[in-house]
Amino acid sequence: MRHLLDTTDLTLEEIDDMIALATDIIENKQKYAHVCDGKKLATLFFEPSTRTRLSFEAAMYELGGNVLGFSSADSTSASKGETVEDTVRMVSNYADIIAMRHPLEGAPRVATTRTLVPIINAGDGGHAHPTQTLTDLLTIYREKGKLGDITIGLCGDLKFGRTVHSLIKAMCRYKNVKFVLIAPKELQVPDYIISDVLIPSGAEYVQVESLEDVMPTLDVLYMTRIQRERFFSEEEYLKHKDAYILDLKKLDNAKKDLTIMHPLPRVNEISTDVDDDPRAKYFEQALNGKYIRMALIMTLLKWGGNLEY
Amino acid sequence: MRHLLDTTDLTLEEIDDMIALATDIIENKQKYAHVCDGKKLATLFFEPSTRTRLSFEAAMYELGGNVLGFSSADSTSASKGETVEDTVRMVSNYADIIAMRHPLEGAPRVATTRTLVPIINAGDGGHAHPTQTLTDLLTIYREKGKLGDITIGLCGDLKFGRTVHSLIKAMCRYKNVKFVLIAPKELQVPDYIISDVLIPSGAEYVQVESLEDVMPTLDVLYMTRIQRERFFSEEEYLKHKDAYILDLKKLDNAKKDLTIMHPLPRVNEISTDVDDDPRAKYFEQALNGKYIRMALIMTLLKWGGNLEY
Amino acid sequence: MRHLLDTTDLTLEEIDDMIALATDIIENKQKYAHVCDGKKLATLFFEPSTRTRLSFEAAMYELGGNVLGFSSADSTSASKGETVEDTVRMVSNYADIIAMRHPLEGAPRVATTRTLVPIINAGDGGHAHPTQTLTDLLTIYREKGKLGDITIGLCGDLKFGRTVHSLIKAMCRYKNVKFVLIAPKELQVPDYIISDVLIPSGAEYVQVESLEDVMPTLDVLYMTRIQRERFFSEEEYLKHKDAYILDLKKLDNAKKDLTIMHPLPRVNEISTDVDDDPRAKYFEQALNGKYIRMALIMTLLKWGGNLEY
């Protein structure tokens, strides 16, 4: 039995297999409509996340399974002092697989010590959110037909953005990926991403402040939100805020086959008039999230000896 | 693809068809038990409403489908500043049809601009609650065998009652419906209901204060709650409160085949001893709500090309 | 149609039958996987209880049925002043069976006056929690092969523990059960348990303060939590707290086939190193909770004429 705590738990081959399975699911939905008949997914969301929860639930239903769980910690035994291990041990009596979101880093790892069924980390604090990263990889693969030989721009809050850090870690395992890190200086990636991730991988990278300058070079543009409170001063905020809002004008000199991504929800960092541009792929990305989770559920159940396909 | 935002979106023929379908569902439940196998309803309740939500969920389950969603806005991305359009666009990746309740008038209409699947308005503020109105129409039809040639009394808070306004708009499209509007003067229907709805329709109507005086004339009595805080003064409240509470005594001179309705929940506006009177149909009305929602889900999926039956 | 409000609603034969059915379910899961196809369980939790709710949901899914409901009263019509009778009458239009948890004693009994479908009391305040008791009985039966001729120790807060009171009432109906009531004096069982339950039944019982002294005599040890605030003084708490924490050392002179039980959640009253001892059965107990609820749902549906098996 294996769990998914971080994307780096998976080998490149395993990721390739999961992407291939997701692709087959997309092309042959009916073939998978009863794969998980009689099986149950527990969604244990100690912290609310509607988007992630609904994509897991949709995934399990499309495999023929059922779903139980909770959507916030308010109503759980955690408030009675129960440990995460005990909660998960108990729930593993009631479900075949668990997707768990928790505000504390490492909580899903702790949960694996006692569970009887596979655990999927559906986000643990600022640490990891591997199903988002798998979603991003599937989206890039479906749009580009490959995960290497790509120039990917990451734009916005690169300092605090868990999603961005995970995606860099995942993408720098592929060949010839060039990273263009676009952010105001104070919101650039943390030093360890440079020293411990990018440099050891040998990947090419640049750090820039202007989105418009680098736009023509990008194959993929991954936007994230900059929260006002992240800036050191109101002056800095006012100076920068428009520079990191993507609108149709900034796309003027972009490649015709650029892929625009965003983990969602967005606030105003992508203007809604971009939504109708064929290069906007953030809603397709959300849809891919359902398919990669279907593939993941099937894979973990198979590894645990609880599913054959 | 069509949506249901207001009952007036539907022609009389379409309503007739939906009532006929609901009737067939009631009579042949097994025939419909797998109509929506593999399909998913999303219940997006930005405002809690247990009754409406459970009736939608029961409806979808009885058609063989599954349900996902949320029951209050607390745990949604709305709190992160996401627009309704984005939330609904995202969820439309995960479901085949959406039932949406929102505290703001017009929110479901806005949602239709980006969704990939049909939207059902499950109540938007004080504006519309079309599935309640369809429930009321089905109930009248099942009890009376017709929707015209009826004298219907509407009693209670006719000024603020969204349900009452919608029912008047729906019923005045039928022939020979006479409306008896029973309320204290300050809680009578708003002027526009008279000038823009009743008068143009040519329907007969009277406005009265006494429920007991008109009781013998009624074929249908639709009760609603009067909230204490709606009255201009405590004096007015004390003067009126008993006059609008239905009890067995007030039913003494009512027709033997009167149909007593209430959208529920009730507080004390219908005495519980009326519950055992065969004329009390408010719990049957709640049951009809399940069947008309089954018919509605099927109809919208069919119109959207996502279901054949 | 019958309901389950308290374990004492059931005859010993009926409990035996339910245990036999649960045992058959455990041994032949596939046989029951579609018994409740097309049926719906409503989980009406006016008070949160994740553990109990999830075990009911898992039970219904494993029978092939569906689940709808709510997990806390916040979002219900109760807040609009609706009575429990009306809520349950309404929900009984939407489900085939109802599991109801309510903070007020007697609420499930009130609910039975108007419901159209069987009601299961899933806990009503300090009063009864019969599915926990049935879970306990199934666990003892599976571990010991019998429900009589047993020495059972009940340890911890015996004064306020609803679970303990119900279990005593249930177990003293069997032959030759000896009760060892282990608690600090101020947290011993209420007088009525002695005078109205134990003495009339003729069961043997002792009241002791020391867990270690009686350990060698026990066939079953049922642990419960002592909440700090239950003690009369901080001094008392400090004096007693360690004496009622079960650890491996205290198990040194226990029987080799002791069965250690706990209704869960635990805080620290059982040391986690006991979890790996083969005598620890509290997580199996939680699993048994699912199976006895499957048997209960089937039995009540059958008694109501809504299921054949």
Residue C227's pLDDT is what? Answer: 77
Q: Judge whether C283 lies within some domain.
A: no
Model pLDDT, residue A77: 59
List the single best residue of B30, B31, B43, B54 to mutate versus C (max C Cβ within 10 A). Answer: B54
Q: Which residues of B are catalytic?
A: 51-52, 80, 101, 129
C48 at the A interface (CB within 8 A)?
A: yes
Confidence of residue A80 (pLDDT cuts 50, 70, 90): confident
User: Residue A88's pLDDT band (boundaries 50, 70, 90)?
Assistant: very high
Query: A2 lies in a domain?
Result: no
- At residue B77, does pLDDT exceed 80? no
- Same domain assignment for residues B182 and B113: no
Asked whether residue C162 is marked as a ligand-binding residue, the answer is yes
Interface test with A, best of B93, B113, B114 (most A CBs within 10 A): B93
Chains in contact with B via at least 3 Cβ–Cβ pairs below 8 Å: A, C
pLDDT given at position B149: 98
Answer yes or no: do B81 and B154 share one domain: no
Are the C-beta atoms of residues C240 and C211 closer than 8 Å to each other? no
Domain hosting B238: range is 131-278
Question: Residue A192's pLDDT is what?
Answer: 96
Cα separation values, B207 from B161, B172, C25, Å: 16, 16, 63
CA distance B50 to chain C (A): 5
Stretch C264-285: mean pLDDT, rounded?
Answer: 95
A72 and B75 within 8 Å at the Cβ level: the answer is yes
- Looking at CA atoms only, how far is residue A297 from chain B in angstroms? 16
pLDDT over 70 at C113, yes or no: yes
Q: What is the spatial distance between Cα C161 and Cα C138, in angstroms, rounded to a whole number? A: 20
The pLDDT assigned to B228 comes to 75
CATH number, domain at B293?
A: 3.40.50.1370
Same structural domain, A51 and A91 = yes
Residue B2 assigned to a binding site: no
Active site residues of C: 51-52, 80, 101, 129
Task: Tell me the per-residue pLDDT of A255-284, one tens digit each, with 9 for 90 and over.
Answer: 999 999 999 999 889 999 999 999 999 999
CA distance B91 to chain A (A): 8
Q: Give the gap in angstroms from C-alpha C228 to the nearest C-alpha of chain A.
A: 13
Position C78 confidence tier, pLDDT thresholds 50, 70, 90: low
C227 marked ligand binding residue: no
Answer whether residue A70 is part of any domain.
Answer: yes
Q: Is the separation of the CB atoms in C220 and C258 below 8 Å?
A: yes
* pLDDT tens digits, B241-255: 778 999 999 999 999
Confidence (pLDDT) at B232? 76
Residue B2 lies in a domain: no
At residue B161, the pLDDT reads 85
Instruction: Give me the mean pLDDT over the B289-300 stretch.
Output: 98
Whether residue B284 lies inside any domain: the answer is: no
Write a three-state SS string for chain B. Answer: CCCECCHHHCCHHHHHHHHHHHHHHHHCHHHHCCCCCCCEEEEEECCCCHHHHHHHHHHHHHCCCEEEEECCHHHCHHHHCCCHHHHHHHHCCCCCEEEEEECCCCHHHHHCCCCCCCEEEEEECCCECHHHHHHHHHHHHHHHCCCCCEEEEEECCCCCCHHHHHHHHHHCCCCCEEEEEECCHHHCCCHHHHHHHHHHHCCEEEEECCHHHHHHHCCEEEECCCCHHHCCCHHHHHHHHHHHCECCHHHCCCCCCCEEECCCCCCCCECHHHHHCCCECHHHHHHHHHHHHHHHHHHHHHHCCCCCC
For residues B235 and B105, state if they share a domain: no
Does B280 lie at the interface with C, CB-CB under 8 angstroms?
Answer: no
Residues B12 and B119 in one domain: yes
- Sheet containing strand C177-182, edge to edge, reads C204-208, C177-182, C150-155, C220-223, C259-261
Confidence of residue B79 (pLDDT cuts 50, 70, 90): low
Inter-chain CB proximity C75 and B265 less than 8 Å? no
Q: Which amino acid is at A241?
A: K
User: Is residue A24 predicted with pLDDT exceeding 70?
Assistant: yes
Q: Distance between CA C14 and CA C12 in Å, rounded?
A: 5
The pLDDT score that the predictor gives to residue A97 is 98
pLDDT of residue A131: 98
What's the structural domain count of chain A? 2
- Pair C100, C121: CB distance under 8 Å: yes
Is the predicted pLDDT of residue A177 greater than 80, yes or no?
yes
Instruction: Please count the residue pairs, one from chain A and one from chain B, whose beta carbons lie less than 8 angstroms apart.
Output: 64
- Could you tell me if C56 and C113 lie in one domain? yes
| Angle between helix B282-303 and C84-91 (nearest 10) | 40
Which residues of chain A neighbour C262 with C-beta distances below 8 Å? none
When pLDDT is cut at 50, 70 and 90, the band that residue B108 belongs to is: very high
Phi-psi region for residue C120, left (φ > 0), alpha (ψ -120 to 50) or beta? Answer: beta
What tens digit of pLDDT does each residue of B109-129 get? 999 999 999 999 999 987 889
C227 and C176 in a common domain: yes
Domain co-membership, A259 together with A293: no
Across B285-302, average pLDDT = 98
Reply yes or no on whether the pLDDT at C75 is more than 70.
no
Specify whether the CB–CB gap between C249 and C243 falls below 8 A: no
The answer to whether A42 contacts C54, with C-beta atoms less than 8 Å apart, is yes
Overall average pLDDT of the C240-244 stretch: 81
pLDDT at B239: 79
Asked whether residue C222 is assigned to any structural domain, the reply reads yes
The stretch A79-106 carries a mean pLDDT of: 93
Identify whether residues A197 and A297 lie together within a single domain.
no
At residue C228, does pLDDT exceed 80? no
Say yes or no to pLDDT of A160 above 80.
yes
Looking at per-residue pLDDT, the higher value among B238 and B64 belongs to B64
State the pLDDT at residue B238.
81
Instruction: Answer whether B116 touches C (CB < 8 Å).
Output: no
Same domain assignment for residues C122 and C211: no
Q: What is the mean pLDDT of residues C64-83?
A: 82
- Residue A222 phi/psi, 5° resolution? -105, 105
Position A231 scores a pLDDT of 74
Identify the residue with better confidence: B223 or A80. Answer: B223
Q: Is B225 annotated as belonging to a binding site?
A: yes
Residues A123 and A191 in one domain: no
Q: What is the mean pLDDT of residues C14-27?
A: 98
Q: Hey, are the CB atoms on A81 and C54 less than 8 Å from each other?
A: no
| Span A218-229, average pLDDT | 90
Q: Which residues of A are catalytic?
A: 51-52, 80, 101, 129
Residue A75 pLDDT grade (very low, low, confident, very high; cuts 50, 70, 90): low
Residue in A closest to C66 by C-alpha: A66
Residues C3 and B45: their CA atoms lie apart, in Å, by: 32
Range in A95-99, A224-228, C48-52, C113-117 with the lowest mean pLDDT: A224-228
Condensed to tens digits (0 to 9), the pLDDT of residues B37-59 reads 999 999 999 999 999 999 999 99
Identify all chain C residues contacting B264, using CB atoms and an 8 Å cutoff.
77, 82, 86, 90
CB contact (8 A) between residue C75 and residue B264: no
Segments of A31-117 assigned E as strands:
40-45, 66-70, 97-102
| Same domain for A141 and A86 | no
The answer as to whether A109 is a domain residue is yes
Residue B62 at interface with chain C, using a CB cutoff of 8 Å: yes
Question: What value does the mean pLDDT of chain C take?
Answer: 94
Q: Which residue in C75, C81, C90 is closest to B71 by CB distance?
A: C75
Chain C environment of A95 (Cβ under 8 Å): 58
High-pLDDT (> 70) share of chain C, %: 98
Residues of C within 8 A of B138 (CB-CB) are none
Which of C68, C82, C114 lies nearest to residue B54, judging by beta carbons?
C68
**Subunit contact A81:C265, Cβ cutoff 8 A:** yes
Chains with 3 or more CB pairs under 8 A to chain C: A, B
C74·B48 Cβ contact <8 A: yes
Cβ–Cβ gap B264/C90 under 8 Å: yes
**A54 vs B114: CB contact, 8 Å cut-off?**
no
Rounded distance, CA B193 to CA A162, Å?
55
Please indicate whether, in this complex, the C-beta atoms of B58 and C95 are within 8 angstroms of each other: yes
Chain-wide mean pLDDT for chain B? 94
Asked whether the beta carbons of residue B114 and residue A275 sit closer than 8 angstroms, the reply is yes
Q: Note whether residue C1 is domain-resident.
A: no
Q: Which residue among C75, C81, C93 sits closest to B286, beta carbon to beta carbon?
A: C93
> Averaged over C142-151, what is the pLDDT?
98
Nearest Cα of chain B lies from the Cα of A63 at a distance, in angstroms, of 9
- Which residues of C are less than 8 Å from B49 in CB distance? 75
Residue C239 pLDDT: 79
Q: Residue B215: is its pLDDT beyond 80?
A: yes
* pLDDT reported for residue A76: 62
**Predicted ipTM beyond 0.90:** yes
